[in-house]
Structure 1
């Protein structure tokens, strides 16, 4: 919560409707931030994004100010929102994005690996064949790669990266980023819990 920006707080205070993945979590956030003029919260997650867009477009056409937040991370980056942005582009509706904390950039900085160029791979498929196919494809791409992963699948991912990229690959496993138990590991050690970002080059 301490990573919130002043512009984000201003946005919460001034908008009419706030789209959020989980209205309960966002409600708690607004309460903790002591937002005086609480906007109407509207549930907006991957599974309902497409069907909610017409309703949101009508709100925007009526002149309502609409904001979008996600439970963790940046909207559109492995989170809902890209279909809505595309619809706004198609209809010529004005929109903007507020800068803020980004797990991808933060992980790259913490990893201490080359970041002149990098590739964001997001959450890889759960199926072995599909995941390995993507890892193979990015082997030819210069720069660090960033993957969001479940702690339950991190060991398998690290093994696959070593198998595909060879002995010279450098790996960083970053867990619980920006939280009390933040930790950066250079390899799998059998004990990874919490939210995980894996960076390798």
Structure 2
């Protein structure tokens, strides 16, 4: 997507909550805006404050504002405290350990509360494991869905995957190294062994690797090898089910019985189902009750 209009000036961030994306592996992916925000923000709310300081050290930036922890266990309770700073005209930057806040990471609750309070929210975009894995997978990218981590318990996992068995969009999941073989095997059972997929690990890092192939092959490889690091699994959506003439001839006969002309009914049903009109017309004639 391109925008031919002239590039606007910097986004004013005073009195704002800013969700800032951090590198998912390669420090060089940090944007100049992220570096400036870390130096200038009144408050930096970090998922892990130690990791934030380590990142700041690698970036050569001094975090001059107050640093506070903001993680899954305190994000609801701490939201208003952060937003009081925004309401007073300050800048609060929310960062997670890697990638975009609120995408399978803390951030959603404070955004929700900021909207309720009528406060300004903006984003300093950047690296995303979801989009990086999707782009590298070689699978369709025009429509996709992010499903996060699948449940750990086998029964819950089977039910979750079962509900996605007919999903037509490409699906992106996160998974831990010690569960990847089991998860891929469960996906092969539910989605079908030949469903195309990709396993992307250590994205943007030194040992980045993308494995591509049918789910059954990926499951066998994951079981044989010890895959390490942060892992994304990308699975092709369910293939479209091609209707057969036998499946839809009854619909034609029902429409004829309700008074529709045979040729008109055949033409509309055939177009919707994507089958040849000639074949459907012949089948309908053969199936019509004898007079």
Q: What TM-score do the two structures reach when normalised by structure 1?
A: 0.95
Match of 1:84 in 2: 110
Pairwise CA RMSD = 1.2
- Determine if the alignment matches structure 1 residue 8 to structure 2 residue 34: yes
Task: Judge conservation of contact 1:15–1:65 (CA < 8 Å) in 2.
Answer: yes
Task: Judge conservation of contact 2:56–2:63 (CA < 8 Å) in 1.
Answer: no
Q: Which moved more, 1:125-134 or 1:33-42?
A: 33-42
- Secondary structure, in 3 states, of the residue corresponding to 2:29? coil
d(CA) in 2 for partners of 1:77 and 1:183?
22
- What are the within-5 Å matches in structure 2 for residues 60-71 of structure 1? 60-71=86-97
d(CA) in 1 for partners of 2:137 and 2:108?
28
- Determine if the alignment matches structure 1 residue 35 to structure 2 residue 70: no
Q: Unpaired runs of 5+ in structure 2?
A: 1-26, 213-217, 237-291
| Deviation beyond 3 Å, 4+ runs, structure 1 | none
Q: Choose which of 148, 155, 163 in structure 2 pairs with 1:137.
A: 163
d(CA) in 2 for partners of 1:171 and 1:32?
35
Q: Unpaired runs of 5+ in structure 1?
A: none
Match of 2:18 in 1: none
Q: Give the drift of 1:36.
A: 4.0
Match of 1:198 in 2: 233
d(CA) in 2 for partners of 1:24 and 1:168?
43
d(CA) in 1 for partners of 2:168 and 2:98?
28
- What are the within-5 Å matches in structure 2 for residues 37-56 of structure 1? 38-56=64-82
What whole-Å deviation, never above 9, does each CA across 1:40-69 have from its counterpart, x for those lacking one? Answer: 111000001111112112212222210000
* Paired positions, count: 201
Q: Which moved more, 1:146-155 or 1:188-197?
A: 188-197
Change (3 A) 1:37 1:177: closer
d(CA) in 2 for partners of 1:46 and 1:37?
23
- If you compute each CA radius of gyration, which structure gives the higher value, 1 or 2? 2
Q: Give the drift of 1:37.
A: 5.2
d(CA) in 1 for partners of 2:229 and 2:208?
9
Task: Judge conservation of contact 1:176–1:182 (CA < 8 Å) in 2.
Answer: yes
Task: Judge conservation of contact 2:100–2:125 (CA < 8 Å) in 1.
Answer: no
- Secondary structure, in 3 states, of the residue corresponding to 1:133? helix
Q: What TM-score do the two structures reach when normalised by structure 2?
A: 0.67
Task: Judge conservation of contact 1:30–1:38 (CA < 8 Å) in 2.
Answer: no
